[in-house]
């Protein structure tokens, strides 16, 4: 085995893990699989691109060496995190919340999310066209990092940002009132209500955090690969595989699941061919559901 698969897998896995956190939080708190989550990934990347275009006119496009990232991209990313959280919040307000209030069943809400996914993807393609776009045209050279592996500065930056965001979410969930409230609602919404928790407020917060992390995944994918209208949809199966592998509701589980799925994909690309990469997530999903349905860290 070529050790390069490890770093390739970890980088791909960090993108999957970031997206999977939103999936697992939404699933554990709202009890439904949000198929529109992939579009938050895509939307986050395109919102960053829009802000980048505007900010580059003022701040220029000079990269912050050794990365291909410019100051304008850093600021655009910050703005897009908030905006994508807002998009997720808006989708909840106009689609999911009315369905919840009318007592809509889980299957109705899941199908609604599927419809929203199709609509958002078509809207993005209509506005931005299907032509792939890039945050930067700067050339990145992969440098040796030891153990026979090589990585570009951007890849290492993505790994560092993933670690930072995961630590921030972990601290939020374990050290703050809002995080404890999210865990309480995930475990028992009725008890949370009679403990004084505004469950709808927690749902809004969950959509915002999930949307922001999906944006981070989209920007990472856009930075390392390219920006396409179907980038989020293509990530959807790996996101769900990672969330289920890690155990629904577990943030560390989602990240670990993402890294494992990424590593499996990289190994498959190296051993049986890149065309089988997409099948890996499906195989992982089936294997977990058959052998350990609660995942690595999920509750019984």
Take residue 122 and report the two structure tokens written for it. 């078509």
**Please, which residue, 107 or 194, has the CB nearer to another protein?**
194
Q: How far apart are CA 248 and CA 241, in angstroms?
A: 10
Residue 200 CB, shortest distance to another protein, in Å, is 9
> Is residue 149 exposed (0-12), middle (13-18) or buried (19+ Cβ within 10 Å)?
middle
Render 166-198 in DSSP notation, one character per residue.
Answer: HHHHHHHHHHSHHHHHHHHHHH-HHHHHTTT--
Residue 294 CB, shortest distance to another protein, in Å, is 13
Place of tokens 């609604």: 112
Q: How far apart are CA 210 and CA 207, in angstroms?
A: 5
Residue 117 CB, shortest distance to another protein, in Å, is 31
**Please, which residue, 1 or 194, has the CB nearer to another protein?**
194
List residues near another protein by CB under 8 A.
177, 180-181, 183-184, 187-188, 190-199, 299
Residue 206 CB, shortest distance to another protein, in Å, is 16
**Please, which residue, 43 or 249, has the CB nearer to another protein?**
249
Residue 174 CB, shortest distance to another protein, in Å, is 9
Q: How far is CA 79 from CA 73, 215, 246, in A?
A: 10, 10, 30
Q: How far apart are CA 127 and CA 139, in angstroms?
A: 28
**Please, which residue, 197 or 227, has the CB nearer to another protein?**
197
**Please, which residue, 79 or 252, has the CB nearer to another protein?**
252
Residue 26 CB, shortest distance to another protein, in Å, is 18
Contact between 67 and 153 (Cβ < 8 Å): yes
3-state secondary structure of 54: helix
Q: How far apart are CA 9 and CA 110, in angstroms?
A: 30
**Please, which residue, 130 or 187, has the CB nearer to another protein?**
187
Take residue 43 and report the two structure tokens written for it. 């939307």
**Please, which residue, 218 or 295, has the CB nearer to another protein?**
295
Q: How far apart are CA 9 and CA 258, in angstroms?
A: 9
């Amino acid at each position: 085995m070529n050790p390069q698969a490890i770093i390739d897998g970890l980088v791909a896995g960090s993108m999957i893990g970031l997206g999977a956190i939103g999936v697992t939080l939404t699933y554990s708190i709202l009890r439904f699989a949000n198929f529109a989550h992939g579009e938050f990934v895509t939307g986050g990347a395109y919102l960053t691109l829009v802000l980048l275009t505007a900010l580059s006119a003022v701040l220029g496009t000079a990269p912050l060496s050794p990365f291909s990232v410019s100051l304008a991209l850093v600021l655009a990313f910050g703005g897009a995190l908030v905006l994508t959280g807002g998009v997720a919040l808006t989708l909840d307000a106009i689609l999911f919340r009315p369905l919840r209030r009318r007592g809509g069943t889980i299957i109705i809400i899941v199908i609604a999310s599927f419809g929203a996914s199709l609509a958002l993807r078509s809207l993005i393609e209509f506005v931005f066209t299907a032509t792939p776009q890039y945050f930067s045209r700067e050339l990145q050279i992969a440098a040796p990092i030891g153990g026979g592996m090589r990585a570009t500065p951007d890849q290492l930056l993505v790994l560092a940002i993933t670690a930072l965001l995961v630590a921030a979410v972990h601290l939020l969930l374990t050290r703050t009132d809002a995080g404890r409230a999210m865990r309480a609602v995930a475990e028992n919404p009725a008890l949370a209500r009679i403990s004084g928790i505004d469950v709808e407020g927690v749902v809004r917060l969950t959509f915002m955090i999930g949307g922001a992390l999906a944006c981070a995944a989209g920007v990472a994918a856009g930075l390392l690969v390219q920006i396409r209208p179907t980038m989020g949809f293509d990530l959807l199966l790996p996101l769900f595989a990672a969330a289920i592998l890690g155990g629904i509701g577990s943030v560390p589980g989602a990240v670990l699941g993402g890294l494992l799925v990424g590593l499996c994909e990289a190994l498959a690309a190296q051993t049986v061919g890149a065309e089988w990469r997409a099948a890996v997530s499906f195989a992982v999903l089936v294997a977990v559901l058959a052998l350990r349905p609660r995942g690595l860290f999920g509750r019984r």
